[in-house]
Chains A and B, each alone.
Chain A
Amino acid sequence: MEVGQMQRRLVDYTKSLFMEGFLDAQFLQLQQLQDESNPDFVVEVVSLFFDDSEKLLNDLTMALDQPSVDFKKVDAHVHQLKGSSSSIGAQRVKNACIAFRSFCEEQNIDATLRCLQQVKQEYYLVKNKLETMLRLEQQIVAAGGSIPMIELGF
């Protein structure tokens, strides 16, 4: 596939991620932070997010698996996840965390378990999407093209 085609595909794909709510404007912030002095910023941040989140999800699963659930601890983990997903623009994950926290407050075991499922689901989805997107970018760069800049304007 030639570079122009790949670039178009990338743009379409990225656009769809915004349209479908996987990413919000905060992600654009990240892209703007990537420049010559910081050429891999997005990949680095996103990778950090993946590592961090997976650990948090494991901790959450364990915490909710206890015979007596410590909701404060659960809430603390969700708070972290909410913070990081919000910082990179993973909107659906963030929203799932928000719902999660309100159920933690209520100390509702069933609801929190459902929320955990929801959060995991959203996480894996956005992970897959981001990985696909970054892979497309890599392919373009490898083929000698440049990543089309996405601009904002009215």
Chain B
Amino acid sequence: MRQQAAVTAKVFIQRDYTNGTMCQFQTKFPSELETRIDKQQFEETVRALNNLYTEAEKLGSQSYIEGCLACLTAYTVFLCMETHYEKVLKKIAKYIQEQNDKIYAPRGLLLTDPIERGLRVIEITIFEDRSLTR
């Protein structure tokens, strides 16, 4: 059975720069998704992603300690240790996978991890509505 439905459109959620260059996405609900998913669900997903990115880029004691330790070892410590950002990116990938499986795929949508688009956009692919064939 062909799993790939036809792609009808793609929506791109842009970055929100109002608080600076930190990675945040706009929570504005695109009109193309109105018939597919409700606004609150979408906003919750984007807010959760924004919170995860804030956690990754947080300037706190942990990032300072990591930075200083790395500097003292001439950054060779990253050969054996994962950076905090990379750990959070894994969390984000898992979260997006979960959201796709539970919420977006049943509605014929697919979220693409922003890291695959250079952290510029969240790409949402809208598939042809197959609800008639189910």
Q: Do A and B bind each other?
A: no
Interfacial residues, chain A to chain B (CB-CB below 8 A): none
